[in-house]
């Protein structure tokens, strides 16, 4: 589906994408661009690129797939910069942690050939020196299709994720931002707040010397790059504020339990949290034999987004997807390949409730 990939921005995420593609079984050509020439030289030294470009426009000129791996506040401007330089059939995706505003602006520029993306992998380290080809192995790779997204665009972005060993899943852009505020942005702020609280103590030197593994584990991500996080939180401000307010309310409840010596309530709170933590991370991965779901669909905007976000809502892993258009026009057949018979049955039921007539079988 892609023979030449342009990766714009080659820090931890972009550099790992470049390295991962070049290490894949059928490696495409990778054209690298970064505003820092030292990054490009390091990428060449490590084998991340087959060639480098002197500008973003030059990098995308022959690309089938373009990955924008810049900070989230630069993504839309970059899409505008490359829009006329990229081949008409080139698909564009990004890797940013905030989606709704970015997707809206990039679709205004690129239309159906853009789909938002966010690999759920990373590190407190940054830069191409921290990049590695296995960063995305078995990680979720969120895609955020909308009614404007073409099936071809979604399919190519899915192929990118699977080529890197990731597991693609679709979410609505606004759902992505709401969930990530709690799964990613809140932990980052909480870790930084914990370190700040320790530094405010009068005997902080003694406390730091005694800090055990639990404190180090909880606060590890406080070492992340501050500038990067400011751009992420600015882009997802409202959802981050909601998450912080809920978190603050929970901490207030815990403080009241302590102040009022409500030990049974505190034990119940800690027990619920323990059980939830065990349950969350004991879930099996979405694996299994592939099952094909086919359904007649009207040729209208929104079908692809409706189906993929339904899959995302139940955690179904879409392995392949395409729309076969009818020669008469107006309708066609949507074919979705899902990993696992249980997930396929659950998705078929969900789609049935949305009005789709779904047939199950084995992919050819």
pLDDT at 281: 61
Same domain, 235 and 253: yes
Buried b or exposed e, range 55-83, using 16+ CB within 10 angstroms: ebeebbbbbbbbbbbbbbbbbbebbebbb
**In the predicted model, is pLDDT for residue 327 greater than 60?**
no
Asked whether 325 and 299 are in contact (CB, 8 A), the reply is yes
CA distances from 145 to 112, 171, 196, 324, 356 (A): 10, 7, 39, 18, 19
Q: Which residue has the tokens 């409706």?
A: 306
pLDDT at 286: 47
Token output for 317: 């892993």
Distance CA 34, CA 76 (A): 16
pLDDT at 124: 67
Same domain, 183 and 69: no
Q: Indicate which CATH number applies to the domain containing 79.
A: 3.40.50.720
Same domain, 101 and 203: no
Same domain, 167 and 237: no
Last residue of a domain, one of 227, 260, 281: 281
Distance CA 204, CA 214 (A): 17
Q: What is the mean pLDDT of residues 303-332?
A: 75
**In the predicted model, is pLDDT for residue 221 greater than 50?**
yes
Q: Indicate which CATH number applies to the domain containing 355.
A: 3.30.70.260
For the chain, what is the domain count? 3
Asked whether 165 and 138 are in contact (CB, 8 A), the reply is yes
Cβ neighbours around 32 below 10 Å, total: 25
pLDDT at 204: 63
**In the predicted model, is pLDDT for residue 285 greater than 60?**
no
Q: Which residue has the tokens 């239309």?
A: 111
Same domain, 8 and 147: yes
Domain housing 254: 176-281
Last residue of a domain, one of 171, 206, 241: 171
Distance CA 86, CA 78 (A): 12
pLDDT at 312: 81
Numbers of helices and strands, H then E, in the chain? 15, 12
pLDDT at 284: 46
Residue 291 is classified by DSSP as E
Same domain, 166 and 189: no
pLDDT at 323: 74
Mean pLDDT across the chain, nearest whole number? 88
pTM for this entry? 0.77
Same domain, 62 and 162: yes
CA distances from 135 to 13, 72, 141, 186 (A): 8, 20, 12, 22
CA distances from 244 to 172, 183, 186, 293 (A): 22, 12, 7, 40
Same domain, 63 and 186: no
- Looking at the DSSP bridge assignments, the partners of residue 45 are none
Same domain, 12 and 158: yes
Backbone angles phi, psi at 355, to 5 degrees: 100, 5
Distance CA 144, CA 180 (A): 13
Same domain, 117 and 130: yes
Same domain, 186 and 249: yes
**In the predicted model, is pLDDT for residue 147 greater than 50?**
yes
Q: How many CA atoms lie within 13 A of 231 on its CB side?
A: 14
Q: Indicate which CATH number applies to the domain containing 207.
A: 1.10.3660.10
CA distances from 218 to 116, 139, 266 (A): 30, 21, 21
Distance CA 318, CA 297 (A): 18
Q: Which of 108, 132, 111, 146 is nearest to 12 (CA)?
A: 132
Q: Each residue of 47-104: pLDDT tens digit?
A: 999 999 999 999 999 999 999 999 999 999 999 999 999 999 999 999 999 999 999 9
Last residue of a domain, one of 232, 253, 281: 281
Distance CA 171, CA 305 (A): 9
Q: What is the mean pLDDT of residues 293-315?
A: 81
Spell out the alpha helix ranges (H) of 282-340: 303-314
pLDDT at 207: 63
Residue 283: pLDDT band with limits 50, 70, 90? very low
Same domain, 23 and 151: yes
- Percentage above 90 pLDDT, the chain: 60
Pairing of the two strands 91-94 and 65-68? parallel
Q: Each residue of 151-210: pLDDT tens digit?
A: 899 999 999 999 999 999 999 999 999 999 998 999 999 999 988 888 777 666 666 666
């Amino acid at each position: 589906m892609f023979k030449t990939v342009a990766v714009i921005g080659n820090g931890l995420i972009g550099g790992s994408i470049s390295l991962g593609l070049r290490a894949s079984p059928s490696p495409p050509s990778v054209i690298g661009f970064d505003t820092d020439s030292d990054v490009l030289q390091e990428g060449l030294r490590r084998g991340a690129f087959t060639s480098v470009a002197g500008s973003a426009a030059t990098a995308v000129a022959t690309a089938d797939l373009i990955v924008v791996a810049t900070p989230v506040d630069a993504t839309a401007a970059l899409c505008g910069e490359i829009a006329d330089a990229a081949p008409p059939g080139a698909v564009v995706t990004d890797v940013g942690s905030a989606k709704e505003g970015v997707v809206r602006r990039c679709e205004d520029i690129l239309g159906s050939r853009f789909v938002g993306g966010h690999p759920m992998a990373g590190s407190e380290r940054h830069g191409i020196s921290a990049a590695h080809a296995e960063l995305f192995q078995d990680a979720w790779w969120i895609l955020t299709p909308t009614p404007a997204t073409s099936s071809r665009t979604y399919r190519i972005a899915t192929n990118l994720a699977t080529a890197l060993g990731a597991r693609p899943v679709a979410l609505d852009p606004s759902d992505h931002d709401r969930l990530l505020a709690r799964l990613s942005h809140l932990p980052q702020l909480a870790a930084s707040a914990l370190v700040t609280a320790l530094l405010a103590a009068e005997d902080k030197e003694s406390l730091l010397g005694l800090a055990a593994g639990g404190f180090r584990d909880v606060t590890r991500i406080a070492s992340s790059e501050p500038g990067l996080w400011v751009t992420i939180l600015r882009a997802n401000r409202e959802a981050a504020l909601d998450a912080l307010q809920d978190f603050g309310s929970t901490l207030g409840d815990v403080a009241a339990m302590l102040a009022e010596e409500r030990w049974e309530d505190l034990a119940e709170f800690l027990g619920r949290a323990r059980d939830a933590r065990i349950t969350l991370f004991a879930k099996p991965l979405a694996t299994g034999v592939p099952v094909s779901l086919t359904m007649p669909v009207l040729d209208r905007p929104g079908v692809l987004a409706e189906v993929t976000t339904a899959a995302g809502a139940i955690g179904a892993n879409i392995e392949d997807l395409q729309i076969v258009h009818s020669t008469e026009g107006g309708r066609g057949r949507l074919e979705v390949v899902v990993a696992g018979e249980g997930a396929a049955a659950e998705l078929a039921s969900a789609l049935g409730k949305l009005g789709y007539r779904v047939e199950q079988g084995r992919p050819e």
